[in-house]
């Protein structure tokens, strides 16, 4: 069992696109604070309750052994977001936020509120994985290990191009109104979900008609409407776009501070933390070839590929087989 969601007020907090007058980070904790700390931040489309798939005594992150802290990304609707920030920074006026901004905010919660002196491991999936890469770059002396699952240290050009698709479908819709909508822009969000869905799975997964889910869905259209339109209709459109911008601009080589503004190779080679890098063989967002390049620059990390037809979703608890594989690898790495 986790603690109830808590909210840390940073006060005036500078972010990439300006300032938040009263920035808020939402988080939950699991386990005993005296145990080694594991940070497990959210991904795109993720909220704090969605993190439970990997937290439990029989799961990848065992709260009887570790003190686990889950963090909500800025713009996920729980931490400061376009949808919950009062004027004049509400809606489309919400400033751009970077991964580095999120890491600085999470560090403040850990050190000022929770009294954490060192993080044993940062683990994340997708956007959470990109945060896992950022942590040992932004705070190199604070993090001992990191586990990026289906993510990258820098968002690749092909990934950025993909994200332009769902973004364009949303902002060009007749009901988005430049972000000044007064009711949920269903046309735009539904279009966003449909464009987004095509890249979420491996080609073999679709070829095998896995979307029928043993009769749960009657057709591909029914699957897209139920899973992808329906899933994103629970989100605010401006929240989706601000999060998407954070994803698009991910790049550890532009982190300010100890590593300056060097190359990606230099930034990765400077990481001292021990890493377990876990891409999926069929991921269309973060292909394993990108992970191979990154690992070649890391001094103390190993590559373990998830051999699955589930594409990007293999790393996010989408099916029992892949989840069992990830759990085994994570537990082994944490115990080393």
Q: Which of 79, 80, 81, 126 is labelled catalytic?
A: 126
Looking at residue 261, its pLDDT comes to: 53
How far apart are the C-alpha atoms of 237 and 259, rounded to whole Å? 35
Q: What band does 280 get if pLDDT is binned at 50, 70 and 90?
A: very high
Q: Which of 62, 290, 291, 312 is labelled catalytic?
A: 312
What mean pLDDT comes out for the span 134-142?
96
Any idea of the CA torsion for 88, 89, 91, 92, to the nearest 10 degrees? Answer: 100
Looking at residue 220, its pLDDT comes to: 87
Any catalytic annotation for residue 312? Answer: yes
What mean pLDDT comes out for the span 178-192?
97
**CB-hemisphere CA count at 13 Å for 131?**
31
Sign for the CA dihedral angle at 78, 59, 31, 124 comes to negative
More confident residue, 26 or 217: 26
Structure tokens at 102: 């999120």
Any catalytic annotation for residue 219? Answer: no
Q: Which of 5-19, 86-100, 205-219, 282-296 has the lowest mean pLDDT?
A: 205-219
Residue partners of 51: CB distance under 8 A and separation at least 6 = 28, 40, 42, 70
Q: Is CATH 3.40.50.1820 what the domain over 6-156+254-335 is classified as, yes or no? A: yes
Looking at residue 1, its pLDDT comes to: 64
Q: Where does the chain show beta strands of DSSP type E?
A: 6-15, 18-30, 37-39, 67-71, 119-125, 143-149, 274-277, 301-303
Q: Which of 283, 291, 308, 322 is labelled catalytic?
A: 283
Looking at residue 137, its pLDDT comes to: 95
pLDDT digits (tens, 9 = 90+) for 54-94: 999 999 999 999 999 999 999 999 999 999 999 999 999 99
Any catalytic annotation for residue 180? Answer: no
Asked whether residue 156 carries a pLDDT value surpassing 80, the answer given is: yes
Secondary structure (H, E, C), 250-267: CEHHHCCCCCCCCCHHHH
How far apart are the C-alpha atoms of 286 and 302, rounded to whole Å? 17
Name the percent of the chain lying above pLDDT 90.
Answer: 87
pLDDT digits (tens, 9 = 90+) for 216-269: 888 889 989 998 999 999 999 999 999 999 999 999 999 875 545 578 999 999
Looking at residue 112, its pLDDT comes to: 98
Q: Locate the domains of the chain by residue range.
A: 6-156+254-335, 159-244
What mean pLDDT comes out for the span 82-110?
97
Mean pLDDT across the chain, nearest whole number? 94
């Amino acid at each position: 069992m986790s603690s109830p969601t808590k909210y840390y007020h940073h006060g005036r907090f500078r972010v990439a696109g300006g300032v938040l007058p009263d920035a808020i980070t939402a988080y939950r904790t699991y386990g005993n604070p005296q145990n080694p700390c594991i940070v497990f931040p959210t991904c795109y489309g993720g909220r704090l309750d969605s993190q439970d798939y990997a937290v439990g005594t029989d799961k990848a992150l065992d709260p009887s052994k570790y003190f686990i802290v889950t963090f909500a990304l800025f713009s996920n609707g729980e931490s400061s977001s376009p949808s919950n920030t009062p004027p004049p920074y509400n809606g489309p006026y919400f400033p751009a936020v970077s991964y580095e901004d999120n890491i600085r905010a999470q560090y403040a919660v850990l050190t000022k509120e929770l009294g954490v002196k060192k993080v044993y491991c940062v683990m994340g999936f997708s956007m959470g994985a990109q945060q896992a890469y950022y942590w040992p770059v932004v705070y190199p002396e604070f993090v001992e290990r990191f586990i990026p699952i289906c993510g990258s240290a820098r968002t690749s050009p092909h990934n950025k191009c993909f994200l332009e698709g769902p973004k364009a479908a949303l902002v060009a819709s007749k009901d988005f109104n430049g972000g000044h909508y007064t009711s949920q822009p269903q046309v735009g969000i539904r279009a966003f979900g449909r464009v987004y869905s095509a890249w979420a799975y491996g080609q073999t997964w679709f070829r095998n008609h896995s979307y029928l889910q043993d009769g749960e869905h009657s057709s591909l259209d029914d699957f897209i409407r139920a899973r992808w339109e329906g899933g994103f209709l629970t989100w605010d459109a401006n929240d989706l776009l601000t999060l998407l911008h954070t994803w698009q601009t991910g790049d550890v080589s532009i982190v300010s501070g100890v590593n300056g503004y060097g190359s990606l190779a230099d930034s990765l080679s400077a990481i001292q933390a021990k890493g377990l890098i876990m891409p999926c063989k069929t991921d269309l967002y973060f292909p394993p070839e990108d992970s191979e390049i990154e690992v070649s620059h890391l001094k103390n990390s190993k590559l373990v590929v998830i051999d699955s037809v589930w594409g990007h979703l293999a790393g996010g608890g989408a099916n029992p087989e892949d989840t069992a594989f990830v759990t085994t690898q994570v537990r082994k790495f944490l115990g080393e």
